Amino acid sequence: MPKLFLVTRSEENYIKTIFHLGGSSSTLIATNAIAEQMETKPSSVTDMAKKLADKGIVYYKKYQGVCLTDIGVKKALSIIRKHRLWEVFLVEKLDFTWDEVHEVAEQLEHIKSEKLIDRIDALLEFPKYDPHGDPIPGKDGTFLKQDKQLLSEVPLNKVAVCVGVKDTSPTFLKFLDKNKIALGDTIEVLEKEEFDHSLLIKLANHELSISHQIASNLYVKINY
Amino acid sequence: MPKLFLVTRSEENYIKTIFHLGGSSSTLIATNAIAEQMETKPSSVTDMAKKLADKGIVYYKKYQGVCLTDIGVKKALSIIRKHRLWEVFLVEKLDFTWDEVHEVAEQLEHIKSEKLIDRIDALLEFPKYDPHGDPIPGKDGTFLKQDKQLLSEVPLNKVAVCVGVKDTSPTFLKFLDKNKIALGDTIEVLEKEEFDHSLLIKLANHELSISHQIASNLYVKINY
DNA sequence: ACTAATTTTTAGATTTGTCTAAATTTTAAT
DNA sequence: ATTAAAATTTAGACAAATCTAAAAATTAGT
Ligand SMILES: [Mn+2]
Ligand SMILES: [Mn+2]
Ligand SMILES: [Mn+2]
Ligand SMILES: [Mn+2]
């Protein structure tokens, strides 16, 4: 009965942000957190919280925060699905680099056409992950949570495979390119420096020392 | 010097409409004509005319109408280029039919990324025409005007090739599909009915009687 | 438990894009 | 040349989305 048909671009951006901040379970996300993430003001968030609550997209408890309703989660997953499929498209079909895709996908994710995104999905042969290693939600709302961990938490001498990035900023991604670290690469932790928590890691053809900040933005999966 | 960098979606739609109504030369387009085309009110058009004039995109003469400046024409061609390239993409890469593409292209044409549209262009191998036979403006602003005429104006027993449609509504396009008329088809005018100006035409494998309204929405090029 | 600091909300203003209704200008018709 | 009709503009209003500044509520520190 709720007419979820009219969701504006701005509303979609709020929905996505709330999802990414963890508002998909019943955890309430603070107004300030949303405002900071979106580079907007808390008062704007409050306004939108009311609007989204009226539409049945979020649950809003005054002074406490918001979380997505079931409808809101569905909507969020649909937007994220579009965002990530477009990112794959840009890389696979148009030779964009992984640091270039996010900005354009931010626009493309708002295109309204179910047929379009389904066909893109098919053209790409139903990819499971986007160029940053993030899982692509299914058309039906399924959402794989992969078991991955930060490289900074991997024990010494363990061999792991790089599967994702936490920070997806162009700066970080280009740093990885420059240092020849890519998704799918095998990484072994050779040393952990006690002083600054930097790591000495071994890649296929080179060894490299990386700061803790780098290591705590790289997701890996340990080989058993 | 004028910062043409911020052009809103709404402004883009006005620019495109003015272009399509002939406002690319110095012909002034009436407020009412724009309003009707865009299904909006004349007063809204006046407001926008002022805004676009301020930005140097249109020349606006009070009570007379608007036409595009050189900057405006360039902007219009860029939007039309994007619209038509996306239409080709949808048909060629995603198996959309020619009656489905316009609606989605109306959204996609507003995506801001020069790299994106250039790569789409390359992926499609630099098409010259969109699925409706309309020419695709070049990146540099070139715009081929093809010599085509309406089927309704072709003399008897002349053989012509179908090269475009004037009406691009799904209704008309589906009518053409149903009657097996497609771009590239050869058409010969066998008879012209004096009473209602309907035509008897000969296609590759069938003859067909079409009304004047149909014939005056089909562009053809006569074989010499 | 009581301040003090922080967070959140409200109130009022602004911008963009639209509308209606009234006023103005242009055009067409006698 | 007047008058009537049509087109266009203005004035004022509204909804969406944002902001600033002030008020209210919550949280934290003692
Ligand atoms: Mn992204
Ligand atoms: Mn991504
Ligand atoms: Mn079109
Ligand atoms: Mn077209």
Give the CA distances from residue B132 to residues A26, B100, B104, in Å, rounded to whole numbers and listed in that order. 50, 11, 15
Q: Does A123 touch chain B (CB under 8 A)?
A: yes
- Within 8 A of A123 by CB-CB distance, chain B residues are 93-94
Strands A218-222 and A149-150: antiparallel
By CB atoms closer than 10 A (0-12, 13-18, 19+), residue B17 is: buried
Same fold across A9-68 and A149-222: no
Q: Which residues contact B95 (CB under 8 A, 6 or more apart)?
A: A119
Is 50 exceeded by the pLDDT of residue B1? no
For B107, which of A111, A115, A119 is closest by C-beta distance? A111
The C-alpha atoms of residue B128 and residue B14 are separated, in whole angstroms, by 25
The C-alpha atoms of residue A183 and residue A131 are separated, in whole angstroms, by 8
The mean pLDDT of B208-214, rounded to a whole number, is 96
The mean pLDDT of B166-193, rounded to a whole number, is 97
Of the residues A89, A107, A110, the best mutation for testing chain B's interface (the one with the most B CB atoms within 10 Å of its CB) is A107
For A58 and C17, how far is CA from C1' in angstroms? Answer: 27
Note whether B108 contacts A111, CB cutoff 8 Å.
yes
Ligand nearest to the CA of A109: 1
Q: What's the fold here for domain B9-68?
A: Arc Repressor Mutant, subunit A (1.10.10)
Q: What is the pLDDT of residues B54-67, one digit of tens each?
A: 999 999 999 999 99
Q: What is the pLDDT of residues A149-161, one digit of tens each?
A: 999 999 999 999 9
Q: Nearest-CA residue of chain A relative to B87?
A: A116
Contact B148, B163 (CB under 8 A): yes
| Nucleotide with the nearest C1' to B40 CA | C18
pLDDT value of position B4? 55
Q: Residues, chain A, total?
A: 224
CA of B67 to the centre of ligand 3 (A): 22
Closest CA to B218 of B179, B172, B174: B172
Confidence of residue B15 (pLDDT cuts 50, 70, 90): very high
pLDDT value of position A223? 76
Token digits of residue B48: 């926008």
The mean pLDDT of B149-163, rounded to a whole number, is 95
pLDDT value of position B3? 52
Report the amino acid identity of residue A148. Answer: K
For A95, which of B104, B107, B119 is closest by C-beta distance? B119
| Closest amino acid to nucleotide C6 (CA–C1') | A32
CATH number attached to the domain at B149-222: 2.30.30.90
Contact B199, B192 (CB under 8 A): yes
Is 90 exceeded by the pLDDT of residue A36? yes
Q: Which residues contact A216 (CB under 8 A, 6 or more apart)?
A: A150, A151, A152, A166
The C-alpha atoms of residue A183 and residue A164 are separated, in whole angstroms, by 6
Confidence of residue B185 (pLDDT cuts 50, 70, 90): very high
The C-alpha atoms of residue B172 and residue B181 are separated, in whole angstroms, by 11
The mean pLDDT of A174-193, rounded to a whole number, is 97
Q: Is B36 helix (H, G, I), strand (E, B) or coil?
A: helix
Residue A178 sits at φ, ψ, to 5 deg, of -60, -35
| pLDDT averaged over every residue in chain A | 95
| Nucleotide with the nearest C1' to A42 CA | C8
The full DSSP string for A155-215 is PTT-EEEEEEES---HHHHHHHHHTT--TT-EEEEEEE-TTT--EEEE-SS-EEEE-HHHH
| Interface A:B, Cβ pairs < 8 A | 39
Structural domain boundaries in chain A? 9-68, 149-222
pLDDT value of position B146? 87
Q: Does B90 touch chain A (CB under 8 A)?
A: yes
The C-alpha atoms of residue A36 and residue B12 are separated, in whole angstroms, by 31
pLDDT value of position B5? 72
Note whether A107 contacts B112, CB cutoff 8 Å.
yes
Q: What is the pLDDT of residues A40-76, one digit of tens each?
A: 999 999 999 999 999 999 999 999 999 999 999 999 9
A41 touches strand D (CB under 7 A): yes
B-contacting residues of A 16-55, CB under 8 Å?
Answer: none
Is 70 exceeded by the pLDDT of residue A1? no
The C-alpha atoms of residue B1 and residue A81 are separated, in whole angstroms, by 40
Q: Residues, chain B, total?
A: 224
Confidence of residue B89 (pLDDT cuts 50, 70, 90): very high
The mean pLDDT of A180-204, rounded to a whole number, is 96
Least reliable range by pLDDT among A99-108, A141-150, B207-216: A141-150
